[in-house]
Amino acid sequence: MISDRHAIPDLFSTRWSAALVYECGRGARRFEQLQQALGISRRILAARLVVLVGDEIMERRQYQVGPPRFEYQLTAKGLALLPILRAITEWSTDWHMADVSTQRAATTYQARPIEE
């Protein structure tokens, strides 16, 4: 029997991978574009891209021969992840904003004098 934790893709447990998929959801991106958009180190970016290409979530296409340059785009498998990532982003935004509103309300409530 496979445990639930093995059902969770490495994509969600490896830092930067989901962000890379989300960024490439906007269209094909070159290495430098990804690095600049995410502020990720070259070494880590290269390692994450190797895994995402190996998992067939992204594909690497050469656009320049000398020196060789590549761009990355989502495969059908990667495109299928986009609705999931968008839903997680919406959930995070909704609940983070709800937490901030609740904290403000609690602070405001505590700051008011008690009326009898």
Mean pLDDT rounded to a whole number for the chain: 80
- What pLDDT sits at residue 14? 81
CA gap 67, 24 in Å, rounded: 23
What angle is formed at CA 32 by the lines to CA 29 and CA 34, rounded to 5 degrees? 50
* pLDDT surpasses 50 at 94: yes
Tokens of 5: 């934790």
- What pLDDT sits at residue 97? 66
Q: Tell me how far the alpha carbon of residue 30 is from its chain's centroid.
A: 17
- What pLDDT sits at residue 2? 46
By 3-state DSSP, what share of the chain in percent is helix, strand and coil, each rounded to 5?
Answer: 65, 15, 25
pLDDT over 90, % of the chain: 48
Q: How far apart are the first and last CA of the chain?
A: 62
Instruction: Tell me which of 66-70, 71-75, 98-102 is least confident.
Output: 98-102
Average pLDDT over residues 39-68: 93
